[in-house]
Structure 1
């Protein structure tokens, strides 16, 4: 059981707490934070409303582990979900303490979740008074979530959601969330959107909002650096691209145009959420936190999807606002993580439980210390040894790959695109961060990743994740007609 960290700071009245979450949204997809090519007027409203954390990370950049971190406030080494394992997570409350929604209910909140939750079994009790997801949408509308093909061979091809934009899953999610925001407070709500997760299928007119020829191509360096983590080429092949280059640069720009379109479509829905909050009498005393579970390589580093510790994959948008208590329009470059969200909500509720995170609210108010270093972990289940770990400290980022004992060191101030691996040129800095990672794992009792006081390594193996097939293909082509 994770110990509770008590802090005496208590708001005068209980604020509402609204978490707004997207899936697979990169950190660099907000116009107000520097991307002049993307249209995000409502996410920009959140930037203006509070504090934008410009060095925020998903500590395990893949769907299920990231969401377990949000609901438990614990790192993947504690939850023991280091990859997308579809196994029962009900025991996590025994290991970590009550899930976030249940903790907020215990603090006197009406709680709701609308949208994606990504936990098993499907009927798992996550502690919400109201939970509305895919099944409720199908029952209400008779629609599937998407009408586009989601087969592995098509997931990274530009597509279109043919459902009317006013009745697709994202619109329905927003409709239900607006209704729940309008109820009696105080409330804790999580509104969880599926986009911009593949397939890259925005609804019209968002599918033609961006001209691919005006968008930059992917950031690609030496393939020896880009593919040092063998999971990247293995994952390329898994998603029906080539191991070596993924997808050509021209197609990448088309996909980026669709990816941006999905973000702009969700941005419009976020505007409706903000309008609903602002219509309340207690709008100033409503905490809003916007974040994503992880990023998307989107062709960068000759790769696709997530699970990597390149910035495109693990760095996320993280916006926190509370007009009654926190400053507006502020940029903050301290290290924050999804692990900190549990503390954000419970601190706002007046009974803080930081779990394995830091006190972000206190840090913004200069009442708590910032994080000195941030750790990340990932392992794809079912493959040969492939555990990876990251340490971010100051401008340095260190990444260790158990498969082959490979390691990388980047100076993010001089090399923000991570093209120049300095591990060979800076052996002392590399060794220091390597041992820092090993000590952290030993302290977390994860000695399965440590050997003789340093990080455990295995001989290099070429990994094979196979092809992604959501529905099996027929033995003979004509069988599909039957």
Structure 2
């Protein structure tokens, strides 16, 4: 039997619309485009939660946030949940991790003095780290020192612009102080290739993570100047930050509180105060960081081809979440807009069974929870009953949706207070009231809040979601339909790890 290798590439904060095969007017990623030509691209793929911790929890457990409940960065993941790595171990793999999973451990089985409780998140159980950041990026900074690079007193200052002008308070046309040969993107690639060298001759599974295009939004030369800001799209937003903020109190909080210094090492002032030129410059830099990843992935793909492993390896490329990038006067991954949740998903199956679908685009709604079932299916392993997603292999091998495929997408957001953001306090809510859930199909988007009025968007008339029509009489019936769909979804996907078992006079029975 031919050996089976899997390369799962997880980039951080990559918007789903920023792919050339989806018609982006500026971004160029030739290696990813070549990968897409040999695989299938999922156009409407969404993460189930933001930011990193909740998104990665859904990606790697196959569970909706309402089931895994790692609802924010810093919130623990229940140790009872299985995950992709643990399932792979049942198949005889020793799953390797380059990057991070942003997982806070379960405090019921972990000493409270554990240093992992002092950071945003550590590594999920089951993975073998072969290129971990460490808890505070110390592995990368130590590598820089070993390369002879003189680190500043604050190591993060490597992401300041060269020849910093005191008047620069954010987006810059200048390159970062760290050269591309020593960038974090290069470091992740080196760790990935080192692992692949060590794994030759045996089936392997590698989670290859990249930090970019996550902020700080500054790129090393020559990537800093690859894209002309004048060619970059302008942000989609209301005429003013004040007008935008009127849509909902949560949106107002973020418009009035997200600071530039979370996105630029030299940042000062509010992100919502960025003018059109600044936003375009930020986008040019963001696209440059994407191009740098693409070049480094070219090295990884080249290694697989040179060593004869390309035709034995399933490659999946995705992200944990998107990025607002100035749209709706926001930076980061927050709230309920598509820019934060729409993410890339490419699957390149090397088997002959996938020859008929190469280079195709799938228009059906797919979700991050589908990743784990897809990978297990390809390896001939069962999907745990608790898993909320479904395998994407029928799209890849048959070019058609499986029976009863979803007709809408769902995602959730929790905005409780954490140490670096306090919307709960600002809005006067209780912790467990700080929740929203979204159901979205091709025509409508319904946003339900636990403790405030809902939002409802007619995507045919308002695709940019600038004007909620919630409560308008002509939309009352359709809004009710969407609310019922959300209730159906929650009932269907309520936690079910043991609900397939039942006692009987003949003993234990199992279904599903």
Q: TM-score range by the shorter chain?
A: 0.7 to 0.9
Q: String of CA shifts for 1:202-240, please: whole Å, max 9, x gaps.
A: 111111122212222101236656752433332243332
Residues 295/269 of structure 1: CA separation in 2 closer, same or farther (3 Å cut) = same
Q: Does 1:429 align with 2:478?
A: yes
Residues 245/88 of structure 1: CA separation in 2 closer, same or farther (3 Å cut) = closer
Q: 1:174 aligns with which of 189, 193, 199?
A: 189
Residues 229/328 of structure 1: CA separation in 2 closer, same or farther (3 Å cut) = farther
Tell me, yes or no, if the aligned pair for 1:112 and 1:131 is still in contact at 8 Å: yes
Question: Within 1, Cα distance between the matches of 2:223 and 2:256?
Answer: 29
SS in 2 for 1:426: helix
Residues 57/146 of structure 1: CA separation in 2 closer, same or farther (3 Å cut) = farther
Residue number in structure 2 paired with 1:285 = 312
Q: Does 1:162 align with 2:166?
A: no
Name structure 2 gaps, 5 residues minimum.
105-115, 146-150, 162-166, 261-268, 418-423, 496-512
Tell me, yes or no, if the aligned pair for 2:258 and 2:272 is still in contact at 8 Å: no
Q: 1:202 aligns with which of 192, 209, 219?
A: 219
Q: 1:349 aligns with which of 354, 371, 379?
A: 379
Question: Within 1, Cα distance between the matches of 2:277 and 2:90?
Answer: 52
Question: Within 2, Cα distance between the matches of 1:47 and 1:227?
Answer: 41
Question: Within 1, Cα distance between the matches of 2:255 and 2:31?
Answer: 33
Residues 401/88 of structure 1: CA separation in 2 closer, same or farther (3 Å cut) = closer
Tell me, yes or no, if the aligned pair for 2:98 and 2:132 is still in contact at 8 Å: yes
Q: Does 1:336 align with 2:366?
A: yes
Residues 140/61 of structure 1: CA separation in 2 closer, same or farther (3 Å cut) = same
Residue number in structure 1 paired with 2:143 = 140
Residues 146/34 of structure 1: CA separation in 2 closer, same or farther (3 Å cut) = farther
Residues 238/278 of structure 1: CA separation in 2 closer, same or farther (3 Å cut) = farther
Residues 145/330 of structure 1: CA separation in 2 closer, same or farther (3 Å cut) = farther
Larger CA deviation: 242-251 vs 373-382: 242-251
Matches for 1:306-317 after TM superposition, within 5 Å: 306-317=333-344
Residues 399/154 of structure 1: CA separation in 2 closer, same or farther (3 Å cut) = farther
Q: Does 1:359 align with 2:391?
A: yes
Q: Does 1:60 align with 2:49?
A: yes
* Alpha-carbon distance, 1:43 to partner: 1.4
Question: Within 2, Cα distance between the matches of 1:155 and 1:180?
Answer: 39
Residues 407/207 of structure 1: CA separation in 2 closer, same or farther (3 Å cut) = same
* Alpha-carbon distance, 1:414 to partner: 5.3
| Aligned residue pair count | 427
Tell me, yes or no, if the aligned pair for 1:14 and 1:348 is still in contact at 8 Å: no
Question: Within 2, Cα distance between the matches of 1:51 and 1:226?
Answer: 38
Name structure 1 gaps, 5 residues minimum.
1-11, 447-482
Residue number in structure 1 paired with 2:89 = 105
Question: Within 2, Cα distance between the matches of 1:213 and 1:394?
Answer: 31
Residues 332/227 of structure 1: CA separation in 2 closer, same or farther (3 Å cut) = farther
Residue number in structure 2 paired with 1:240 = 259
Q: Does 1:51 align with 2:51?
A: no
Q: Does 1:368 align with 2:402?
A: yes
* Alpha-carbon distance, 1:438 to partner: 2.9
Residue number in structure 2 paired with 1:380 = 415
* Alpha-carbon distance, 1:444 to partner: 5.1
Q: String of CA shifts for 1:72-121, please: whole Å, max 9, x gaps.
A: 1111101112222x1443x33x1x22x21221122122321112322223
Question: Within 1, Cα distance between the matches of 2:10 and 2:157?
Answer: 19
Q: Does 1:418 align with 2:472?
A: no
Question: Within 1, Cα distance between the matches of 2:3 and 2:481?
Answer: 44
Q: 1:390 aligns with which of 418, 422, 438?
A: 438
Residues 295/227 of structure 1: CA separation in 2 closer, same or farther (3 Å cut) = farther
Question: Within 2, Cα distance between the matches of 1:123 and 1:300?
Answer: 30
Residue number in structure 2 paired with 1:116 = 100
Residue number in structure 1 paired with 2:72 = 83
Q: Does 1:253 align with 2:285?
A: no
Tell me, yes or no, if the aligned pair for 1:147 and 1:163 is still in contact at 8 Å: yes
SS in 2 for 1:110: coil
Q: TM-score, normalised by structure 1?
A: 0.81
* Alpha-carbon distance, 1:312 to partner: 1.3
Q: TM-score, normalised by structure 2?
A: 0.77
Tell me, yes or no, if the aligned pair for 2:67 and 2:494 is still in contact at 8 Å: no
Tell me, yes or no, if the aligned pair for 1:20 and 1:290 is still in contact at 8 Å: yes
Residue number in structure 2 paired with 1:450 = none
Question: Within 1, Cα distance between the matches of 2:229 and 2:76?
Answer: 42
Q: Does 1:221 align with 2:238?
A: yes
* Alpha-carbon distance, 1:445 to partner: 5.4
C-alpha RMSD over aligned residues = 2.7
Tell me, yes or no, if the aligned pair for 1:24 and 1:295 is still in contact at 8 Å: yes
Residues 14/349 of structure 1: CA separation in 2 closer, same or farther (3 Å cut) = farther
* Alpha-carbon distance, 1:440 to partner: 3.0
Residues 433/30 of structure 1: CA separation in 2 closer, same or farther (3 Å cut) = same
